[in-house]
Amino acid sequence: MRYAILLAGVIPAAIGLTAVGYQAERAGLIPGLGSAAASKEQRQGGGPARPASDRVLYWRHPDRSEYASEPRRTADGRDFRPVRAGEDIEPQDPAAPPPAAATASQAGRSPAPGGAGGGQRRVLYYRNPMGLPDTSLTPKKDSMGMDYIPVYEGEETDGLTVRVAPGRIQTTGVRSEPVTRREVVRSIRAPGTIRLDERRVAVIALRTESFVERVEDVTTGDRVRRGQPLLHLFSPEVVAAGAQYVSALGIPAGASLATAEGARRRLENLGVPPQVIAEIERTRRIPQSFVWPAPRDGVVLERNVSDGMRMPAGEVLFRLADLSVVWVLADLPERELGNVVPGQKVEVRPRGLPGRTFTGRVELIYPQLDLQTRTAQVRIELPNPDGALLPGMYAEVEIAAKGGDPVVAVPNSAVIDSGTQQVVILDRGEGRFEPKEVKLGRRGGDFIEVREGVAEGDRVVVAANFLIDAESNLRAALRGLAAAAPAAKEEGK
């Protein structure tokens, strides 16, 4: 019933021609337009009527849905196109017997609604030729003079099944697929931000007061390599510790071992690079200044030093970061936390790099929620070999949520959703279709889990299913009206 009102406007356009051409010529309930044309031809020419395949049923406008019972021209002088028998509808199954009404009409008698003899089928009721929700238990005409179309016994085997001619199945594109069990993988989308990998950030700071003699040609944004010189420093405390170490190295081995080890440890505690300590051991000379090298490959994020500056202990001179690997921190809604676990595949699409997609995996789900947004941060590790991903970029994150065990699922196109009810069309074979209400579950990709209504192995219509559903609802409406008519007649007596 739910589409009856809508179909009252939509179906007439779809089946109006059928009433004019198909029912008139095939069912014999309305004097065929083709027959009228043939009779006119006989009257004018005196010859026999042309074969049925050449008989013109009606004439059609070459561009739009406009029809005529006789030849005519358009406003711009073009001829209407003749439509012959068999051209207005899909081919009928050759094995199907002719309608009883047509047989009776050709024999010059009216079909017997209640009779079963002579191979005739019993007429259940007559429906409006234009598809309106109007039925009659006896033959009648509509306001345009068109005969109502008979619905015979056997055309509707039950209250649900819809029969469709094989030719119509092909021309309307109806296609069905078997129901299978599959894992329904749902994608979770969340906004994210690209951040530095905290484990790949290095800070260069002094452990003692020093003076900057010279800074190398390195500035913010430059890429440096491990061991590359950054600046030259002079530190009185480092010079004193170096002198003690050189002195300990000159004492005989047996007496100086502990002293030399203590002096070396003092240099290490002052943060003197290993290269500088090795140079002191090799040359046995005390450097007045020493070179501070880059501790790792990376990009200079900060430079806080200039030539001649006095730098107190703990002052940050440079800050470096290795960008070969970066993090993406995504804000995951609280309701989705149960669907994400470390190790799941993630696709990241930076907004600043249209068309590019980076693949990574969930590394960590942070153990706290943002109380304002009710989201948890998910950390994703991404390789960044070409350095295209920059810290601070916004990105769209898509996580393939875990699907669990395989479930009964159908393609999205198989479900007709009215908002309050979900229906699929079961293909029962031999042109029979049955609408079936279902209860749905998880959605993922192009499939939907079906918890009730269908079973594995059933065939469901995945293309043009709305046409069958519309036909089913129309027939349900007509049956309801036909059943109500006798009751109304009895009440009127």
Helix (H, G, I), strand (E, B) or coil at 127: strand
User: Are 193 and 335 found together in one domain?
Assistant: yes
In a domain, 115, yes or no: yes
Residue 155 pairs with which residues in a beta bridge? none
- Total domains in the fold of the chain: 4
Over the chain, what is the mean pLDDT?
Answer: 75
User: Are 233 and 310 found together in one domain?
Assistant: yes
Per-residue confidence (pLDDT) for residue 378, from 0 to 100: 94
**Residue 361: CATH number of its domain:** 2.40.30.170
Residue 413 pLDDT exceeds 90: no
Last residue of a domain, one of 314, 345, 378: 314
Let me know: does 66 contact 86? Beta carbons within 8 Å: no
In a domain, 202, yes or no: no
Per-residue confidence (pLDDT) for residue 97, from 0 to 100: 42
Check residues 386 and 489 and name the one with the higher pLDDT: 386
In a domain, 356, yes or no: yes
User: Are 221 and 307 found together in one domain?
Assistant: yes
User: Are 388 and 416 found together in one domain?
Assistant: no
User: Are 226 and 291 found together in one domain?
Assistant: yes
CA distance 289 to 296: 22
Q: What value does the mean pLDDT take over residues 177-200?
A: 89
pLDDT band at 402 (very low <50, low <70, confident <90, very high): low
Residue 485 pLDDT exceeds 60: no
pLDDT tens string 51-63: 445 777 778 888 7
In a domain, 145, yes or no: no
User: Are 115 and 25 found together in one domain?
Assistant: yes
Last residue of a domain, one of 282, 314, 346: 314
In a domain, 477, yes or no: yes
In a domain, 373, yes or no: yes
What's the maximum distance between 2 C-alpha atoms anywhere in the chain?
Answer: 142
Per-residue confidence (pLDDT) for residue 419, from 0 to 100: 78
Q: Across the beta sheet with 135-136, what order do the strands follow?
A: 135-136, 123-127, 149-152
Q: Tell me which residue range forms the domain holding 164.
A: 156-182+404-493
- Cα-flanking dihedrals φ and ψ of residue 139, to 5°? -60, 140
pLDDT tens string 72-87: 888 888 898 888 765 6
Residue 271 pLDDT exceeds 80: yes
Check residues 144 and 1 and name the one with the higher pLDDT: 144
* Concatenated DSSP letters of 153-196: TTS-SSSS-EE--HHHHHHHT-EEEE-EEE--PPEEEEEEEEEE
Per-residue confidence (pLDDT) for residue 21, from 0 to 100: 38
Per-residue confidence (pLDDT) for residue 130, from 0 to 100: 63
Check residues 145 and 96 and name the one with the higher pLDDT: 145
**Residue 297: CATH number of its domain:** 2.40.50.100
- Cα-flanking dihedrals φ and ψ of residue 240, to 5°? -65, -40
Residue 179 pLDDT exceeds 80: yes
Residue 38 pLDDT exceeds 50: no
- From residue 293, give the alpha-carbon distance in Å to each of 224, 243, 297: 10, 22, 11
- From residue 429, give the alpha-carbon distance in Å to each of 41, 90, 432, 458, 465: 44, 19, 5, 11, 15
Residue 462 pLDDT exceeds 70: yes
Q: What value does the mean pLDDT take over residues 107-130?
A: 56
pLDDT tens string 6-19: 333 333 333 333 33
Instruction: Kindly state the percentage of the chain with pLDDT values over 90.
Output: 26
Helix (H, G, I), strand (E, B) or coil at 55: coil
Per-residue confidence (pLDDT) for residue 392, from 0 to 100: 93
User: Are 192 and 261 found together in one domain?
Assistant: no
CA distance 15 to 13: 6
Last residue of a domain, one of 366, 400, 434: 400
Helix (H, G, I), strand (E, B) or coil at 228: coil
Instruction: Kindly state the percentage of the chain with pLDDT values over 70.
Output: 69
pLDDT band at 395 (very low <50, low <70, confident <90, very high): very high
Helix (H, G, I), strand (E, B) or coil at 395: strand
Range scoring the smallest mean pLDDT among 90-99, 254-263, 465-474: 90-99
